[in-house]
A and B are shown apart, each in its own frame.
Chain A
């Protein structure tokens, strides 16, 4: 039944790009329930601290280190008008480029991409988040799903970027 190696090996960069661009559209449109459907049931989401971008969240204090339980709770929070940091919701626009498949191991496809995420709120200068995404994707029922997404910021410190209160 399972043919993980074959399935993973047949993935194309175009298929990966389609997934990432679709994800970016959903996040920019705040269609967060639809976005959750792109994830595996054990998905994780990480934003490492700016001073330790390569660290492991079990030993290092991250900015964000969500398991799927907290990630679903994060979506509940983001949809709530009492999520004051994102109410009214920020306008965001994501630019994703330099998408590469960096490895295939078992049923897991590793992907790297560059990002620029612009975040706009009233009466403030645009916030510009620049960095690199590292994804682990798995094919489930024929569709590519996100098992892990790691957003590594290039900024030396968050500084004027302030909070990472939206989904980066």
Chain B
């Protein structure tokens, strides 16, 4: 092994793999402003980045404003019903033209000088227009649309690279994992449930990719959640002598293009459709009915796949869908090398009854989110790691070799699926070096 250097480049200094032997990530990737700038170019300017879900824009004029790929974006359904992603910056002098979080708009009015744009971005009104020179072309001065906006099963992604492959090509094997989520709805329609969890973690954004799919940490980090499950009568004991860390043995999977997922037999209950004691006896018949609908619609095998398996899906680079004790959609983005923002929602079938929806939300909050029994400890772990990385010049490498050298399927508690992320990260960063 070469002596570690502080520099970087196309020779793979930051991610070093010796096949079947070792896999190391240089901690510089979590602290370097230079790496962050290169990530903006190599990842956020060229990958498909999640912007929102069709269910968030039910009616013409519905909009959400959010930061996506480092830009202020208006995610809006225009008067003709088309979903658009517009850059929220006036063509005149740059002010954001929509400053509300969400709502229903007739148009977007810039409060600086009063330029007014239609929902499709076209510039409609310029106060005192007759003072502009003859070459001033209003038609060419609409809000800038993102170069590409495509959706897969109501999940909308944007891309700032006009020559990027299609979203469906990009998603590759991740489409199957999304299908397993959408199949939970009898009509194939899922919806983002109202209520946003938007919180910061003082850690590098890539640590949340790792953490979201890393089942190795469950025992140590989430001991109190496991304790709660145990207190509630849910079996969380690993089988004796099996070498397993969890009651069920799951897999880590490479879905192509840097996407990855865990794929685990469920032990912790699912609103669709696996009863556990926490739901209460009165929920049993209802869960059975949900299950029966799945079987009738999808057949036994597919129904079992939907109802009895959990996934933590990471879509490269910054979207995670947890399909387990509830369904979460969360994206996150860097604010600084040691600071990220997380935006998270619950997702559920549009057909859910009040009782089913309440059960889903209750299950969500037991584990997930900034007030859950688990996520705050993940946040603590990531922030502890980030604090450790202040010594990155002295202690330079993270070890991600768990499971290497074993030929059989890689477990969810191994790190092969984390390596999938890092290999793709390295590829993209070198391609754009």
Which A residues lie at the B interface, using CB under 8 A? 47-52, 55, 57-66, 70, 73-74, 76-77, 80, 82-86, 123-124, 156-165
Contact = CB atoms under 8 A, between A and B. Distances in A.
22 contacts: A47-B371, A49-B196, A51-B101, A51-B198, A52-B194, A57-B358, A58-B361, A59-B194, A59-B358, A60-B195, A61-B195, A61-B197, A61-B365, A63-B369, A65-B365, A84-B376, A85-B380, A158-B198, A158-B200, A159-B341, A163-B370, A163-B376
A61 B380 contact: no
A124 B360 CA distance: 35
B221 interface: yes
A51 B371 contact: no
Contact of B200 (A58, A65, A76, A159): A159
Given A62-B195, A73-B373, A80-B227, 20 more contacts: A59-B361, A60-B195, A61-B196, A61-B197, A61-B365, A63-B197, A63-B369, A64-B365, A64-B371, A73-B228, A80-B224, A84-B376, A85-B376, A124-B202, A157-B199, A159-B199, A163-B371, A163-B376, A163-B379, A164-B370
A84 B195 contact: no
A49 B373 contact: no
B198 A157 contact: yes
A165 B380 CA distance: 10
A98 B112 CA distance: 38
Contacts of B194: 52, 55, 59-61
B193 interface: yes
Contacts of B380: 84-85, 163, 165
A86 to B, nearest CB: 8
A58 B379 contact: no
* Interface size classification for chain B: 35 or more
A55 B194 CA distance: 9
Q: Is the interface of A mostly helix, strand, loop or mixed?
A: loop
Given A62-B371, A162-B201, A77 B379 contact: no
Contacts of B178: none
B199 to A, nearest CB: 4
B408 interface: no
Centre residue among A82, A124, A159 by max chain B CB count within 10 A: A82
A123 B224 contact: no
A80 B223 contact: yes
B230 to A, nearest CB: 11
Contacts of A84: 221, 376-377, 380-381, 384
